[in-house]
Amino acid sequence: MAQTTKKSPKGTKKEKIFHPDSRKAGQLARKQLRKSKLAGQASKRAKLHSAKADFYGFFFHALPEEGVLTLPELHELVSDVWLTRNDTEIEEERAQRRKGRPKSTKELKLEEIKLREAEEYRTGMEVPDLTHPENVALYRKWDQKEVAFVQMLRCVRISSEKPDLVIVSKPGKYPSLATPRDVAMDDVPVLLDHSSNTDAMLS
């Protein structure tokens, strides 16, 4: 009886195995490490993009139907709405937690965000300038998709410790936002004191 021999299917290749200390193994390890780093960077960029879109989206929806906000109204928007936006979820997590049980990861994360942002607001938080007519008019044109658009906006830094003090942190890259004072100061932050002359600062 004739014996039959099994042949390996054509096109199949044996997986090469390299010695851990070989040069090829080192090259593959470095390649894989680079891929992991790039994937991590891409993930960070996506999260940053999402966080920035959420932040500017919040202030976009807070734009007044007509006119602009006053500085006290801008402070109220930050302190009473933006900083408290996660309070309901925090309370829900606390209610669901049984007595004696540790806080959930979600609750800890939300509390950390709240504390970090409260401290940022105390020392100086950068927000879109909703007291500036041209800036508000430009902001209304945002499609809420292109995050690069917000780079053109004028931003100010406000603080809960010094509510009357405003620092123009970003004059804005749109021509209509440039004022003689901003141009003269170039990239130096402009300090605006609303307690002394409100009208001059909104120009």
Q: Are 56 and 128 in contact (CB under 8 A)?
A: yes
Read off the tokens for 28: 């593959």
pLDDT, tens digit (0-9, with 9 covering 90-100), for 9-58: 555 555 556 556 666 666 666 666 655 555 555 454 455 568 888 999 99
Token pair for 161: 């410790």
User: Is pLDDT of 60 > 50?
Assistant: yes
Residues 103-119 pLDDT 10s: 999 999 999 999 999 99
Q: What is the pLDDT of residue 175?
A: 81
Mean of pLDDT over the chain: 79
Whole-model pTM: value is 0.67
Residue 165 host element (H or E)? strand 165-170
Adjacency order of strands within the sheet including 125-128: 125-128, 155-158, 165-170, 190-193
* Tens digits of residue pLDDT in 153-188: 999 999 999 999 999 999 998 887 865 444 433 444
Among 113, 116, 50, 130, smallest CA distance to 105 is for: 113
* Tokens standing for residue 131: 């007291």
Which residue do the tokens 């989206």 mark?
Answer: 57
